[in-house]
Structure 1
Amino acid sequence: MESSFTQKDMLAQVNQLWSMLDDMAENSPESYQKFIQRHMKEGKEFMTPPEPNLCIHTKILEPDEKILFINICQWNRVPAPMSEAHPVPISAGQLENLSDGTVVAIAYNPEVLKRAHQDHVELDQLIRLAMKYIEEQYQITLCHSYHVAPFQLKGNAKMMKESLERIQKQPATNKGNSSCATDNSLLEELKSIALIREKQETSPSICITREDAPKSTKTKLIEEISSTDLQNRDLLPSPWHELSVTKDNAGHPQSLILKVKLRGVHSVAECDLSVSKDDLLLVVPGRYRLLLNLPQAVNEETVAAKFNKANYILLVTMPTL
């Protein structure tokens, strides 16, 4: 039987939560301060962005053969497996096309990657789990061989973060199960404090659905904790563009000059431009998207951009390092 959790029930739970906090602050101020500080620290750790760990170089075989870079990242938002019998939680971004191949971000819990780096066999299993997930998620066939790239990240950190953070706001509820797994941090701890002090039965806790709740006795190897909206961004066309290199008298590269034709764009405020040392991402929401892998390393601190409204040309000047 499927449980129903109404807005009225949720409001009652919120009121209960505030009542517990008020009671704790009044009766045990020191414990209250420690409790709040600990959860603020946990919240801060939870909000830290994903960090690159290693980059895998392999190849897409079907439907079109091309190079694939897999950015394996560590991210506190990805939970560690509850036990060795539970599936390994994984979070994935979308496939991004670069000038020299395709890149996708895969995130694991930091502790999972820390253990894996101490055991080459376990690390190989995590890499192959990521490859298997990519094949299933995007309906492609990968080459089974791979090697670890000499760099930790293909592309830039901002692109990786944006790709991983496009997750579903409301995860699907497990049907046929009226008892949802609950978050054992804030609410459950407050409930325990209330039970000890009041010695009375409390109302049901807020139901927080978890996609890592095992649905059968068979152990899964991969568990998806997030999914990516692939449609809107994939439909955005790349605008006409031209990239050139200016050189000094000795023939050394001085700067990269990018011209982009943005028809229908009337102001530079409509453009979101991000330049790192080795790539460039330009997005005009609802109109264009351009991702370029730069042939020369550039100084991102001195990049300049000008937009000519008369001919819709965006001119980006990127001094080389």
Structure 2
Amino acid sequence: MLQQVNQLWSLLDDMSENSPEAYQKFIRHHLEEGMKQFSPPDPHMCFQTRILEFSEKLLYVNICSWSRVPAPKSESDPVPLGGGKLEENVEGTEIYSVTDVAYNPEVLKKGSEGPMERDQLICLAMKYIEEQHSLHLSHTYTLLKDKLKGSKKQMKQRLTGKAGPAQTAKEIASGESGASLLQQLTNLKIADKENEENNPSIQLPSDIRYPKKPGLIEEISSTEFDSGNKVETPKYQLLIKDENEKAKTIQLRVELPEVSSVTECNLSVSKDDLVIDVPKKYRLQLDLPETISEDIVTAKFNKKTHILAVGMPIK
């Protein structure tokens, strides 16, 4: 089997050099798959309830659709979901909190079939919030007209744990943006491990179970897709190049000295971010300084210099 895998890698290397069209088709296929995996969460609905603590205060919960959260494997499996941080805000004299709960798009599609299904998803989200954040919530709620409280950027930051000021194009190009991506991933992994230890899976009351499904909450960590192995953030250079008066391209050059074949690299590009993953060796995740046309991204790996060059036309 190992021999067959090596033959396949060699074949793809030859393809990149001798059959660029077939190679581009191969890359495009993986880009499309990566877009599904790394697409941002999409607002679905927002409801308001109350935190019943020492002094009551409003809680806004954004329910969002996110392909990063897997769908249940079968009707008898628990419904996976992902949760965001609890954020406190002040509006005038009123203090309120905001958090987010993410479901797979297929789960939300089923939850939109009727009021009962929608209510089950909301009750499941509230039960999760109570367990995750050690809160006591009112189980009466109001469904709001707006699908989102706050902004999409804030929602994504709460769900992924990545907060802080936005980076400039210069900071992205130089890589001088404070803590490294590896450090951020490490901190998130430690935090998720502590949460798993302190908040084990819980059994839901029968009145908010899906029919024929055990009432378990399966939390999907923002770092679940990290392999757990120690990897490095590779050196890179990000530039915006003028092709002509109307066309501009973001050019990324990434040094991968321990990589000998393009097939070792997993490249995922969306309109505003990019992820390069070499299992057990390198991982690079960048927020792009401009919106790009992800359908016509080009990528080429030089086996002599071990440099991956990615060209991304700006819309």
TM-score normalised over the length of structure 1: 0.47
TM-score normalised over the length of structure 2: 0.48
